[in-house]
Amino acid sequence: MLKGAYRWTASLRFTLGSLIREGLHLKLHGFSAVLLMAFSFAAYAQSSVPVRLNVDLTDAPRKIIHARMTMPVHPGPMTLLYPKWIPGEHEPDGPITDLAGLVFTANGQQIPWVRDDVNMYAFHITVPQGVSTLDIKLDFLATAPPSGFSAGASTSASLALLSWNEVVLYPSGTKPSQVQVQPSIKFPEGWQFGTALTKTGEANGEVQFAAVPLNMLIDSPVLAGRYFKEIPLATDVTPKHYLDMAADGPEDLAIKPQLVDAFSKLVRETGVLYKSRHYNIYHFLVTLSDDVAHFGLEHHQSSDDRVGERTFIDDNLSYLEADLLPHEFTHSWNGKYRRPAGLNHDDYKDPMIGNLLWVYEGLTQYLGDVLAARSGIETDDQFRSSLAATAPPPWTPVPDAPGAICRTRRPPRKSFMTPVRSGTTGGATRIITPRAS
């Protein structure tokens, strides 16, 4: 397990390494770093053979996800990275502390690995002579509490949301967009799934998907569950759009027809507003559970939307989440199709620069609220009420308006049916659901 077993050895290596480096000429440090990167890049065999990634979700109800990777390589030093900066979350929150059971093998022999002294997301190995294929085994411990974003609780006894960044490593010095991955998943018996990935077949109890670049894979989560329903939306619109729902019980999938109609109208309204469809397919992946983290995270051809289990069967709860799907859907245009320069990078190790988050998030928040009203997900009066609750009082100083917009993330919505709890005012409970973006 990587959650602390190597802490003292890492500290010792760091201390010894620092002492050695102090005795060397400093100019060698920069050269050595460049040389190591060159070796790492050379060790990864760029070819037409994709990396194979097999994920086993059968233990997801026990909060364990198993993964195996098979990667083409060349002999020599090699550094592999675990994704650190997760798109849409705007922070270095890749859940490295939940990575466990990491083993490298080649030709049936185990290969020793060392974690980097400074970058805890980097692992160093030496590929032996005569080796052309590296096998990687790892587990992800999905034991996080129901808080935060995609690294938060993502499974229950009846469902799971797979974020691919949690179960992959990739070669340092190679852009994720240049790493082709052939993914497959083994689901618990009887479970169904939804994703923007293209299914190509089934074999040996695994569902196989078409090969895609790593950055597209990480941008394509998979929602699966025992109680699952997929509903086509706006069937007159091309490309196709789907509402995929997984819940902890079948009763929570009984979405009201008028809400389905509103989501279909949302698809049509975006066509009128944005005048383009830049994706091949779109899936709203909605997790209905009280056991997972509640938030929304955008993707190019889908969105990861997690809400309470009764959200689609309770009018009050539906209103509280009225802007969630419009917001994340809008991000497919504002944030994915077009992205601020500081947030547009092709490597998960590079820090994001968020000085234009007020466009990425602030504009998306406004447009998402407008679309919620235009689509009939909420009424005009509800929209105006939410807008009024978002606006600061006229006497509130706003020295940094873009930053203020980003900090607000999502406006509070009044619940006129929820009993007043301690600390609430005005006869209504104000609830703010965190959103990754």
Q: Considering only residues 233 and 25, tell me which one the structure prediction assigns the higher pLDDT.
A: 233
Q: What mean pLDDT comes out for the span 370-397? A: 84
Nearest to 321 by CA among 349, 288, 350, 298: 288
State how far the Cα of 307 lies from the Cα of 284, in Å rounded to an integer: 13
For residues 405 and 114, the model is more confident at 114
Task: Evaluate the CA torsion angle 310, 313, 314, 315 in order and state its sign.
Answer: positive
- 65-95 tens-digit pLDDT: 999 999 999 999 999 999 999 999 999 999 9
How far apart are alpha carbons 175 and 213 in whole angstroms? 10
> Is residue 128 within a helix (H) or strand (E), and if so which, with residue range?
none
Question: Rounded to an integer, what distance in angstroms lies between the CA atom of residue 350 and that of residue 395?
Answer: 40
Cβ neighbours of residue 219 under 8 Å, at least 6 residues apart? 87, 299, 300, 301, 336
Least confident of 139-148, 161-170, 259-268, 387-396: 387-396
Q: What is the pTM of this model?
A: 0.83
Structural domains of the chain, with CATH: 7-225 (2.60.40.3650), 227-431 (1.10.390.10)
Place 198 in a pLDDT band, splitting at 50, 70 and 90: very high
Q: Is the dihedral of CA 88, 91, 94, 95 positive or negative?
A: negative
Cα 192 from Cα 386, distance rounded (Å) = 36
Quote the percentage of the chain above a pLDDT of 70: 79
Give the confidence band of 390 by pLDDT, cuts at 50, 70, 90. Answer: confident
Give the pLDDT of residue 21.
36
pLDDT at 345: 82
Q: How many CB atoms lie within 10 A of CB 227?
A: 19
Tell me the two tokens of residue 205: 């109890």
β-sheet bridge partners, residue 69: 53, 136
- Pick the range with the lowest mean pLDDT from 106-115, 320-329, 355-364, 390-399: 390-399
Q: How many CA atoms lie within 13 A of 258 on its CB side?
A: 8
Closest CA relative to residue 331, chosen from 307, 292, 293, 304: 304
